[in-house]
Structure 1
Amino acid sequence: MIETTSFYHEKLYKALSNRKHIDTPQLISVTTKLDSVDSLGFFQAGKVYQGERVYWTSADTMFTLVGVGSAYTFEAEQDRFFSTRQMWNDVLAEAIIDNPYRIPGTGPVALGGFSFDPLKEENGTWKDFPNSKVLIPMYLLTEWRDETYLTINMMIHPDDNEDELFGHVTEEYQSLLAGTFIHDDDVTVTNQEEVRPEEFKEIVAKATDHIKSNRLGKVVLAREMIVSFSDDRKASSVIRQLKEEQTQSYIFAFESGDSCFVGATPERLVKVEDNELLSTCLAGTVPRGNTPKEDVALGEALIHDEKNLQEHDFVVQMIKKAVTGCCENVHVPNSPVLYPLRNLQHLYTPVSGTLKEGVSLLEVVEKLHPTPALGGYPREDSLQFIRDYEPFHRGWYASPVGWFDSYQNGEFAVAIRSALLKKDQAILFSGCGVVEDSDPDEEYKETAVKFLPMIHALGGRE
C-alpha cells in the first residue's frame, strides 16, 4: 500500500522523537512506498549535495538505487573490507529502523566502492576517491520491479532539535521527488586524445616476455583516453545516455568531491539475495559484426579461440575456488556461452552457490577482487607487474563498486567501461588480458573497441 504524505511525516516524526533520551549518535531510517518518480530528476535535484550522490541500475534494469546526501560515510585505509563491515555493523546495532517492506535495497543501504590497488601510489587523478568509500544516503530512492520506495536515513546527535530537523528533511525530500531531468545538450566534445598508445604496446610486449619466462600466467593491462568538453559535463546526462545505449549493463555513478566516476559495466562480481550467491566469469572478447552473418562468425571464432578460452578459464578457476570457500552447493557449467552486448561479445560462465552461515557479502568481495579478468594470474605477481609498469593510477577503475543492505542483500560489479568526470574533462579507461601469445597491436585494437560505450555516451567520435 502506498502511504500518504501525512502518514509518512507522522512515521518520521515518531522515529525522531523515539531517540531523544539516547546520549550517543544514532541512525534513524524510515521507508515508505511511493508512486513512480523520475529517478534522474531525483538525482539532478540533489545538486546541493554535489559530491554525495550515487546512481545504480542493475543489468536487468529492474532495480535502481539513487542516493542523495550522506547520513554516514565509511572510509578505511587499512583492512578496508573488514573495517567497513565493522563500522556498518556498529551503526546498525544502535539504529532505529521503520521499514515494513524489507524489499532489497530499502531501509539502511550502503553504496560505494574500493580502489583497484591500495598499494599503488596515487598521482592526483583520483584525489577525490579514497581507497574505500561507502556511504548511507540521507535520501534513497529505490525502484524494484514495478514499485518505488523512499528511505530517509538520518544520523541524529544528542543536541539535535527534532522539530527543526523534521521541518528541513520533509521540505527537502519533497523537492527531490518533484525533480525532473534536464539534458545538457549544449555541451560538446572539443578534443579526444589517447594517452601514450605506443607505450601501452611496449608494456604488452614486456608482459608477454614475463609470461614466456614463467614469471606470470596472465596480466591485465589498461590505458587511458582524455575527452575534453566545451563546458562541465553533467553526470546525469551521461547516465541517461548509458541507460539508453547499454541496456544489458550495470549503470553506475559515484560522486566524490568535484569528481564523478561513471560507467556501464557488463561484469557482475557477486550478488547475494536471500542467501543465494551468483558470480560471473566474463573474459574473452571480440567486436560485434556489421551484419548478422559476420556477427555469428565472430562469435563462433571466439568460442573456439584457444587464447580467449585460456584467458576465460583462468577467471573461472579462480572464482570457483573463492566461491567454494564461502558457499555450499556450488555450481559451475562445463563450458562458457556467448554474452552479446551492443559493441562487444564476451565469453560468459556463471558461478552460483548458497552462502555459508556467518559469511558476509564484503568477505566474498575481498576474496574475489581482483579476479584474473581484471588483474591477472598469479594474483600478487600480476598486481606487482601492474604497479611497476602501468604508467597511471587505476583508482576505482576495474574495482568493486556496488551496494549492500541491512538484510544481507547486495551486489557488486566490476567498474570497467568507465570514465572519471572532472568538470569539463573525462578520463576514460580500457583494458585487456595479456597471455603468452598476445600481440601488442591486437591488444591495442581490443582496448580501442572497449572505449566505445563511454565515447558514445560522452558524445565523442570513434
Structure 2
Amino acid sequence: MPSGPTGHAGELRLTLVTSAPVTAPVPQLVARSVEIPDPGPLLSLLPDTSPYAWVRGGQGLVGWGEAARVETSGAHRFAELEAWWRTLINTAVVRDEVQLPGSGPVAFGSFTFDDEPGTSTLVLPETIVGHRDGRWWVTTVSVAGNLPPLPTLPSATSVRRPGAISFADGQLTGADWEIVVASAVDRINAGELEKVVLARDLVAESPHPIDTRWPLRRLGEHYSRCWTFSVDGLLGATPELLVRRERGLVTSRVLAGTIRRTHDDVHDLALAASLARSSKDLEEHEFAVRSVADALAPYCSSMNVPETPFVLHLSNVMHLATDVTGVASGQASSLAMAAALHPSAAVGGTPTDRAIELIRELEGLDRGRYAAPIGWIDSAGDGEWGIALRCAQLDPSDPTRMRLFAGCGIVAGSNPAEELAESAAKLIPMRDALVR
C-alpha cells in the first residue's frame, strides 16, 4: 500500500481512493477551483454520508467524497500528518482561479486529545464548496492524473429527524463526577498544580440511525457565532478558535470562565458583569491566555495580548474571551501552530504535564477527539483550527448512538456542584440540536 512518512511513536496509514491497485505509486493529484453562483446554504449541500464542514455565520467550507486520507496515532501525529500533506501538495497540479484562503485543495483534519489511544486523520475531499465575503467557489480533486470535471452541486435536501432521543450517563454519573472534581480541588489546594480541566460524557440514543446533517443544520442556525464542524462523525459548534493563519496573520481566541445565561436581558447583563469581576474565573482565564501566548511566541515576530478579557455572549452561556493576535515570523503552517498550542490550559490545565497526568488519573474517560484540534489546512499552509468543544461523536459501530462531551476548568475556588451545572449548560447545544 502507498505510504507516507512514518514516526517511531505511531503507525501511519494512507488510503487513496482510486481505481488503481493499492500497490501502484501514489497517483498524481490534480485540483481546480472556480467561482460559482450562490448555491444556497453550505450546510444544506452536504450528502448523508461522511460530510465535512467548517462553517461560521454561513461562511466557510464543506466537502464530501474522499480523494485521499491519512491516519496516524501517537506523540508525533501532528508532524506526521503535516509531512504527508506537504508531500501531497508539493507534487500536485493546482489550477486555482479563486485565490482565497480555503480555495485550491483543502484537507479537513481531526486529532485525538491524547497521544494514545485513538486515530488522528487528514482527509482531502473530492469536492469542496466554499463561501467567503460574497464569493462562492467549488474545488474538485482528482487522483487519476487528469483535470477533474466540474461537479453538479446537489440541491438542498431534506434530512431525517433523529426521532425520540434518550439520554443516559456516560462513564460517570453526575454525583460521581462531582467527587472527581472535589478530588481535583484537593490536589490543587495541596499545591500539585494550578488548574485542571475535567470532562464528562453523556450518551444519546435514537430509535434509528442518526442523520448527522440534522444536528449540523440546527447548530449552524442557533450558534452562528460558533464554528460548526464535522469530520469523521465528530460534529459540533465550537466557540473557541485555537488558531487561524491567514496570509501571515495569526489569531487565537481563548475562552475560559463560563456562566449560564437566563435569557432575561437585564439579569444576563448583571451576570456578565459578575463574570468579568470573578476572581476564580479571571484566574482560570489568565492561565489559558498565558499558555496560548507562550506557545505562539516562537512563531510570531510581534504579538498583541490584551490585558483584560471581554465577555462573549452565546445563546446558552457567556464566556470570558481574549483574542490573541500576531504576525507570523516564518513559514510554519496553521497545523504546526495548532500542534504547538495543544493542549492549552483551556482544555488541559496548568502546568500542562501535571494537568494531563491528573486527567488520566481521575477522569476515567476516553476523550477520543474531544477538546482537540479540528479544522482545515490549504495548500499554502493557511487554515483554521478550532478546539472540538460542544460536540458529539457518532458511534462508528452503532449509528443510533452518540457520545456528547463537556468539560470545566477546575481551580482552587471551584465548587463541584457549580461545575456540574456548568457542564450541563455546555451540553445544551448538542442536546438541543438532536431533539429540536
User: Structures share a fold, TM > 0.5?
Assistant: yes
- Displacement of 1:316 after TM fit? 1.0
Matches within 5 A, 1:45-124: 47=48, 50-51=49-50, 53-58=51-56, 61=57, 63-78=59-74, 79-119=76-116, 122=117
Deviation string 1:285-327 (CA, Å, 9 cap, x unpaired) is 0011332211111011100000000000001111111111110
- Displacement of 1:170 after TM fit? 4.3
Which residue of 407, 410, 415 corresponds with 2:380?
407
**Amino acid corresponding to residue 57 of structure 1 in structure 2:** V
Q: Distance in 2 between matches of 1:24 and 1:459?
A: 44
Contact 2:131–2:137 at 8 Å: present in 1 too?
Answer: yes
**Amino acid corresponding to residue 112 of structure 1 in structure 2:** G
Q: Does 1:202 align with 2:179?
A: yes
- Displacement of 1:245 after TM fit? 0.7
Deviation string 1:196-238 (CA, Å, 9 cap, x unpaired) is 2121111101101111111111000011111211222211111
Contact 1:67–1:140 at 8 Å: present in 2 too?
Answer: yes
**Amino acid corresponding to residue 406 of structure 2 in structure 1:** S
Q: Distance in 1 between matches of 2:78 and 2:413?
A: 36
Q: Distance in 1 between matches of 2:30 and 2:298?
A: 35
Q: Which range is displaced more, 24-33 or 335-344? A: 24-33
For structure 1, the 5+ residue unaligned runs are 1-21, 123-129
Contact 1:80–1:132 at 8 Å: present in 2 too?
Answer: yes
Change (3 A) 1:211 1:34: same
Q: Does 1:436 align with 2:412?
A: yes
- Displacement of 1:41 after TM fit? 4.0
> Secondary structure at the residue paired with 1:230?
coil
Q: Which structure carries more helix by proportion?
A: 1
Which residue of 141, 150, 175 corresponds with 2:138?
150
> Secondary structure at the residue paired with 1:316?
helix
Contact 1:55–1:252 at 8 Å: present in 2 too?
Answer: yes
Q: Distance in 2 between matches of 1:90 and 1:290?
A: 50
> Secondary structure at the residue paired with 1:105?
coil
Could you tell me which residue of structure 1 aligns to residue 11 of structure 2? none
- Displacement of 1:89 after TM fit? 1.1
Could you tell me which residue of structure 2 aligns to residue 270 of structure 1? 243
Change (3 A) 1:225 1:23: closer
Q: Distance in 1 between matches of 2:415 and 2:243?
A: 31
Contact 2:244–2:250 at 8 Å: present in 1 too?
Answer: yes
For structure 2, the 5+ residue unaligned runs are 1-23
Matches within 5 A, 1:370-385: 370-385=343-358
Deviation string 1:56-113 (CA, Å, 9 cap, x unpaired) is 103xx25221111111112222411111111111111111111122111111111111
4+ runs deviating over 3 angstroms: none
Contact 1:323–1:364 at 8 Å: present in 2 too?
Answer: yes
Change (3 A) 1:314 1:97: same
Q: Which range is displaced more, 279-288 or 67-76? A: 67-76
**Amino acid corresponding to residue 104 of structure 2 in structure 1:** G
- Displacement of 1:24 after TM fit? 5.6
Contact 2:71–2:81 at 8 Å: present in 1 too?
Answer: yes
Aligned residues: percent identity? 31
Deviation string 1:236-264 (CA, Å, 9 cap, x unpaired) is 11111111111110001112xxxx11101
Q: Does 1:292 align with 2:241?
A: no
**Amino acid corresponding to residue 447 of structure 1 in structure 2:** S
**Amino acid corresponding to residue 429 of structure 1 in structure 2:** F
Q: Distance in 2 between matches of 1:234 and 1:321?
A: 41
Q: Distance in 2 between matches of 1:41 and 1:201?
A: 40
Contact 2:165–2:435 at 8 Å: present in 1 too?
Answer: no
**Amino acid corresponding to residue 437 of structure 1 in structure 2:** G
Q: Distance in 1 between matches of 2:430 and 2:415?
A: 25
Could you tell me which residue of structure 2 aligns to residue 317 of structure 1? 290
Q: Distance in 2 between matches of 1:450 and 1:292?
A: 20
TM-score, normalized by length of structure 2? 0.89
- Displacement of 1:23 after TM fit? 7.6
Change (3 A) 1:362 1:40: closer
> Secondary structure at the residue paired with 1:189?
coil
TM-score, normalized by length of structure 1? 0.84
Q: Distance in 2 between matches of 1:429 and 1:104?
A: 31
Matches within 5 A, 1:222-301: 222-255=199-232, 260-301=233-274
Contact 2:288–2:344 at 8 Å: present in 1 too?
Answer: yes
Contact 2:295–2:340 at 8 Å: present in 1 too?
Answer: yes
RMSD in angstroms over aligned alpha carbons? 1.8
Which residue of 316, 321, 331 corresponds with 1:343?
316
Deviation string 1:105-139 (CA, Å, 9 cap, x unpaired) is 111111111100123xx4xxxxxxx4310111111
Deviation string 1:319-373 (CA, Å, 9 cap, x unpaired) is 1111111101100111111110000000011111111112222221111111111
Contact 1:217–1:376 at 8 Å: present in 2 too?
Answer: yes
Which residue of 283, 293, 305 corresponds with 2:278?
305
Larger Rg: 1
- Displacement of 1:280 after TM fit? 1.3
Could you tell me which residue of structure 2 aligns to residue 127 of structure 1? none
Equivalenced residues, count? 406
Contact 1:289–1:298 at 8 Å: present in 2 too?
Answer: no
Q: Distance in 2 between matches of 1:348 and 1:24?
A: 44
> Secondary structure at the residue paired with 2:125?
strand
**Amino acid corresponding to residue 231 of structure 2 in structure 1:** F
